[in-house]
Structure 1
Amino acid sequence: MEWIVITGIFILVAGVWIAVGSAKLDREDRETKAAQLASISNFDPSVKFDGLWWENGVALDPYSKQIAIVSAAEPPRTFRFDQLVSVEVDRNGHTVTTTKGSSGLRGAAVGMALVGPIGLALGGTTRSKGKSISKITKLSLKIYTNDLVQPYHEVMFYNDPNGDEDGGAFVAPAIEELEQWFGRFQAILQMDRAAKSTPVDQRALPSDGTEAVLTPPAAVPSEAPKSWLGRTFGA
């Protein structure tokens, strides 16, 4: 009986120690990412996601039109909005929806793709009674830019090998957060498409880089109509 009590106390102490250690590591991870964001010049994020522990975080600055990818493992990277090529929502290692510079699903469709029919087709588990349920083990946003050195970045929103059912207490907030970020990147791509589709008068773009002002051509005065005498005798 005594050894059962000792074992119980040991398990309790170990659990507390692990919880305290995990909280400390998580705090240090967030502080490191916050320091990285603060070190980026001309970057004031309006919205950010710290990311999971030891995974990428992401932040947006609409005023300077920049995207920042931060990680406790490496220096931050920034990209202009117009460098964004596409974003993909990944569930359990499979892409369920993509938005590129020319087309894509609306943000409201992401939730359906994650937990709806598409999600169910991407590898759920089956109960003994034959009822199929969707088990989510990973949710992430894949970001592609035109940077030739490191064009691909993945931001993890949920990662648990044991998984969670659709609508579960852990996966539901991750889906909601992921939908918001997918919508933000989709808006960036739409703004970039709109800017590129706006016609530009090339006459307003001088080679020296200065801002040109188009001046309307001067009016050419028209000759006064000749009188009958002038038309007849050339006067």
Structure 2
Amino acid sequence: MGTIIVVGIVFVVVMITIAVMVENAKQKATARQTGQLLRTDFNPDVIHGSAFGKLGIAIDGTRRKFAILQGDNAPKIFDFSQLTAVEVLRDGSSITKTNRGGQIAGAAVGAVLLGPAGLLLGGLTGSKRSIETISKLSLMIYVSDFIQPNYEVVFHQHLGSGGTKVSDLTVTMNLLNAWHGRMQAILAANTAGLPNQMLVEGNSHA
């Protein structure tokens, strides 16, 4: 029994250590990418850094621009007017998609991601089957670019078999919801023809 307890403690310590190392790596990557953006005319109000080979995203509300972060490579910077659609994907399936002009396909993302019964299949199929685990959550950004018209910003990816319990993804789903809302706000501003203005307040590194 004593050996089992010791092994359990060691496992917990190792997992905590790994989590801290991962978080530190993410923070350093985000700081480096913020510096890359500041060397241009882009001043990020909010930023979700790129780390471990995944894409990140940032928004400059004053200049009406957003950037796709590509790790150590130069960021791709777009005008708000170049955003054509935004889509939430769960395990590769579309949950909700908003096109330029405000047309929404699928269920409201907040209800889908944070429903009391857990993550619902919902969306285009209208199914109400409860989902217990998730392997991948991402935000697909569509732009008016013939060379590369879409970018997938991954917010969660489970390594190995199976998936992550929905109950363990509350923070991630809140973060994804926030970024989905920001991109929807950009689409809405494009549709309404709003003047140059801040769509986000203060500086954040969400």
Structure with more contact order per residue of length (Cα contacts < 8 Å, sep ≥ 6): 2
2:147 to 146, 149, 158: 149
After TM superposition, the structure 1 = structure 2 runs for residues 1-235 of structure 1, keeping only pairs within 5 Å, are 15=14, 18=18, 21-39=21-39, 41-51=40-50, 53-105=52-104, 109-116=108-115, 119-121=119-121, 133-161=131-159, 162-165=163-166, 168=167, 170-195=168-193
Identity among equivalent pairs (%): 32
Alignment coverage as a number of residue pairs: 180
- Which structure has the bigger radius of gyration? 1
SS at match of 2:135: strand
Change (3 A) 1:19 1:164: closer
Going by fraction, where is strand more abundant, 1 or 2? Answer: 2
Residues 90-133 of structure 1, C-alpha deviations (whole Å, 9 max, x = no match):
11111110010123349x921212355895337xxxxxxxx954
Residues 30-68 of structure 1, C-alpha deviations (whole Å, 9 max, x = no match):
2332222222x2211222222554321111111111011
Q: TM-score, normalised by structure 2?
A: 0.71
Q: Which runs of 5+ in 2 are unaligned?
A: 123-128, 195-206
Residues 167-194 of structure 1, C-alpha deviations (whole Å, 9 max, x = no match):
x1x3111111111211111111112112
Change (3 A) 1:78 1:121: same
Q: Which runs of 5+ in 1 are unaligned?
A: 123-130, 197-235
- Does the 8 Å contact 1:52/1:158 carry over to 2? no
- Does the 8 Å contact 2:26/2:49 carry over to 1? no
1:20 shift after superposition: 6.1
Residues 202-227 of structure 1, C-alpha deviations (whole Å, 9 max, x = no match):
xxxxxxxxxxxxxxxxxxxxxxxxxx
How far apart, CA to CA, are the structure 2 residues paired with 1:30 and 1:174?
Answer: 17
Change (3 A) 1:191 1:163: same
SS at match of 1:155: strand
Please tell me the residue identity of whatever aligns with 1:112.
Answer: A
Please tell me the residue identity of whatever aligns with 1:87.
Answer: V
Q: TM-score, normalised by structure 1?
A: 0.63
Residues 133-162 of structure 1, C-alpha deviations (whole Å, 9 max, x = no match):
432221111001011222211111222243
- Does the 8 Å contact 1:83/1:145 carry over to 2? yes
Change (3 A) 1:134 1:51: farther
1:83 shift after superposition: 0.6
Change (3 A) 1:194 1:22: closer
1:195 shift after superposition: 2.1
- Does the 8 Å contact 1:49/1:58 carry over to 2? yes
- Does the 8 Å contact 1:56/1:156 carry over to 2? yes
